[in-house]
């Protein structure tokens, strides 16, 4: 469905304005799809992001500083999210004996199992939407978004 119909706005100030609204709307829509897929796992999209970062670094431990740097949502409180994941026994936190400010985080076996299952569920949820565009179209979208961010 076109963005004009989705938000019931027939006109935009410009194509750039329309693209901006379309990107924001689509990002929120994709986030809702991921949130729905993660519901049964009892984790948020931000917690899922941390688990995926940890999985990518596994078996190496990761600092909260690295998590903050690599998170998609830079406004999230990584320390608070890690603590919630620790309470769910999905991650372990270890203070560095030489530097008490440094905390190393690593996935537990339970965390690895959950992130693998949740990733499968998210991929399945998004598959139907992502398959509506070709690989070439996805490449174009990626190039345009990278260009917009100046990278």
Predicted confidence at residue 90, as pLDDT, reads 97
What is the fold of 42-148? Arc Repressor Mutant, subunit A (1.10.10)
Predicted confidence at residue 47, as pLDDT, reads 96
Please state, as a whole number, how many other Cβ atoms lie within 10 Å of the Cβ of residue 141.
12
151: pLDDT strictly greater than 90: no
Predicted confidence at residue 82, as pLDDT, reads 94
pLDDT tens per residue, range 117-135? 999 999 998 888 889 999 9
| Domain boundaries defined on the chain | 42-148
Predicted confidence at residue 97, as pLDDT, reads 73
pLDDT tens per residue, range 58-115? 999 999 889 999 998 887 888 899 999 999 999 999 887 777 778 899 999 999 999 9
* Residue 84 in tokens: 């919630």
Predicted confidence at residue 48, as pLDDT, reads 96
Question: pTM for this structure?
Answer: 0.87
Predicted confidence at residue 74, as pLDDT, reads 80
Please state, as a whole number, how many other Cβ atoms lie within 10 Å of the Cβ of residue 54.
26
Q: Tokens 């985080």 appear where?
A: 105
Judge if the upstream peptide bond of residue 142 is cis by omega within 30 degrees of 0: no
């Amino acid at each position: 469905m076109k963005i004009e119909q989705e938000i019931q706005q027939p006109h935009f100030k410009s194509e750039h304005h329309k693209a901006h609204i379309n990107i924001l709307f689509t990002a929120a829509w994709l986030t809702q799809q991921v949130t729905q897929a993660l519901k049964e796992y009892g984790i948020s999209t931000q917690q899922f992001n941390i688990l995926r970062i940890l999985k990518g670094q596994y078996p190496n431990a990761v600092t909260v500083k690295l998590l903050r740097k690599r998170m998609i949502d830079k406004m999230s409180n990584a320390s608070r999210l890690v603590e919630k994941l620790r309470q769910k026994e999905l991650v372990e936190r270890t203070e560095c004996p030489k530097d008490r400010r440094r905390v190393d985080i690593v996935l537990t076996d339970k965390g690895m199992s959950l992130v693998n299952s949740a990733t499968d569920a998210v991929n399945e949820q998004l598959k139907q939407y992502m398959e509506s565009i070709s690989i070439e179209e996805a490449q174009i979208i990626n190039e345009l978004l990278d260009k917009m961010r100046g990278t």
